[in-house]
C-alpha cells in the first residue's frame, strides 16, 4: 500500500513539475519567436521611413501612407502593424499578447530607432528585453 501511495505521490510531483516549469518555458519560447516575427515584419517600413526622413531632413510626414499589411502566421496567429505620420511603428500579436513600438528620432542628419516591447521577457535585447 505504501508503494502505491509513493508512486502516486511521485506521479503527482512529476505532473506538477510539467505544469509549473516545462509548460511556461515552452510558452515563453513561442512568445519570443512571435516577437521576432513581429519585429522582422517592420524592416521594409523602417527603411522607407528612414529614407524619407533623411531625404527631407525631418521626421514630419515620414510615415504618411507607409503601410504594413497584416500577416497571418500559421504558428503565431495574426501579426499587425500601424505606421504613424511621424514614422513610429506599432506592431502587435493578440494570440501571444505581445506588442512592440519602434520610435524614430533624428538627432542629426541620420535616423536612429528605439524599440520597446511587452512583455519584456519575450523581447530581444535590442527591443528592451533581457
CATH of the domain at 8: 3.30.700
Q: Dump pLDDT digits (tens) for 47-89.
A: 999 999 999 999 999 999 999 999 999 999 999 999 999 999 9
* pLDDT (tens digit per residue) in 105-123: 999 899 999 999 999 999 9
Instruction: Output the pLDDT for position 25.
Output: 45
pLDDT at 13 over 80: no
> pLDDT tens for residues 18-27?
444 443 444 4
Neighbours of 118 (CB within 10 A): 16
8 A C-beta contact, residue 128 and residue 119: no
Per-residue pLDDT tens digits for 82-107: 999 999 999 999 999 999 999 999 99
Sheet holding 98-105, edge to edge: 71-73, 77-83, 89-93, 98-105, 112-118
Say if residue 39's pLDDT is above 50. Answer: yes
Percent of the chain at pLDDT > 90 equals: 71
The total number of structural domains in the chain stands at 1
- Tell me which residue range forms the domain holding 44: 2-127
Amino acid at each position: 500500500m505504501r508503494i502505491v501511495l509513493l508512486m502516486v505521490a511521485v506521479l503527482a510531483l512529476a505532473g506538477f513539475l510539467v505544469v509549473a516549469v516545462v509548460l511556461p518555458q515552452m510558452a515563453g519560447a513561442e512568445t519570443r519567436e512571435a516577437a521576432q516575427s513581429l519585429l522582422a515584419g517592420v524592416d521594409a517600413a523602417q527603411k522607407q521611413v528612414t529614407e524619407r526622413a533623411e531625404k527631407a531632413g525631418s521626421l514630419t510626414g515620414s510615415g504618411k501612407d507607409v503601410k504594413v499589411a497584416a500577416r497571418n502566421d500559421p504558428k503565431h496567429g495574426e501579426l499587425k502593424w500601424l505606421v504613424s505620420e511621424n514614422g513610429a511603428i506599432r506592431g502587435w500579436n493578440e494570440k501571444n499578447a505581445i506588442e512592440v513600438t519602434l520610435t524614430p528620432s533624428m538627432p542629426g542628419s541620420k535616423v536612429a530607432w528605439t524599440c520597446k516591447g511587452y512583455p519584456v521577457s519575450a523581447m530581444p535585447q535590442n527591443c528592451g528585453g533581457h
